[in-house]
Amino acid sequence: MTASTLERPTVQKTNEPQFLIALPVHLMHCVAQCVSTDPVKVSLNKISLYREDSVGSGVITLAATDGHRLLRIILPAGSTQIGELEPGKRLIIDPAAFKKRPLTNEKTIELFADGTAEIINRSSREVRKVFWKTADTDFRFPNYDDLFPDNFHNKPEAPFAFNPAYLLDFLKLAKQYGCPLVVKWHMNAAASPMVQTFVVDGKWLPLGGEVTVEHLLMPIRIRT
């Protein structure tokens, strides 16, 4: 196979774990903020990393949801470095190592098939090792793409009601990682999902590309 900017040609030693993918570690931190912390919601307490199911595609989608809000980040070809992660393959990731914000100079994380990951500090070249693989082998992640409306008319006919804590969490991420500091709102009816977006500052994307963070927020229904 011809090497490209997406595929990392490697000579794997027999005692080394198989390299799957490298991507911006701060985006893993973003999606980790939206996983469920409810021990009962076992199907919503993980991060999904999915490679688009078409030959040669380098598009990667990160997603997490707690049932009330959903964060989706689509990384275009060239913004990650793909090793042995096959098209159509989904990794279910334990968010524990990514809840805390990484250091500013920690830009990239490399995931390996044995469940380990290496977070690389660009200035010191130090490597911090973490574990990403979940013990849940029969995990089924929700179909998040179906939740996003196909289009928005942005003409609400009634006030929107939402949990301010969820919105505050997203705005904190936008302030930290967005460039310019602009959040866009996309909406239809007061009872349908609203979506906020921001474009990630290039300094958080060590491999390049343009990445948008999408935050889908389910409205609160008010009885009248």
With a pLDDT cut of 70, the percent of the chain lying above it is 92
**What does the pLDDT look like over 196-212, one tens digit per residue?**
999 999 999 999 999 99
Section 177-187 average pLDDT: 91
Segments making up each domain of the chain, as ranges: 19-135+149-217
Share the mean pLDDT of the chain.
88
pTM of the model: 0.86
Q: Which residues contact 123 (CB under 8 A, 6 or more apart)?
A: 105
**What does the pLDDT look like over 44-102, one tens digit per residue?**
899 999 999 887 789 999 999 998 899 999 999 999 999 999 999 999 999 999 999 99
CB count in 10 Å sphere of residue 216? 22
Contacts from 100-103 at CB under 8 Å and sequence distance 24+?
A: 100/29, 101/26, 101/29, 101/176, 102/25, 102/26, 102/29
- Domain 19-135+149-217: what homologous superfamily? DNA Polymerase III, subunit A, domain 2 (3.10.150.10)
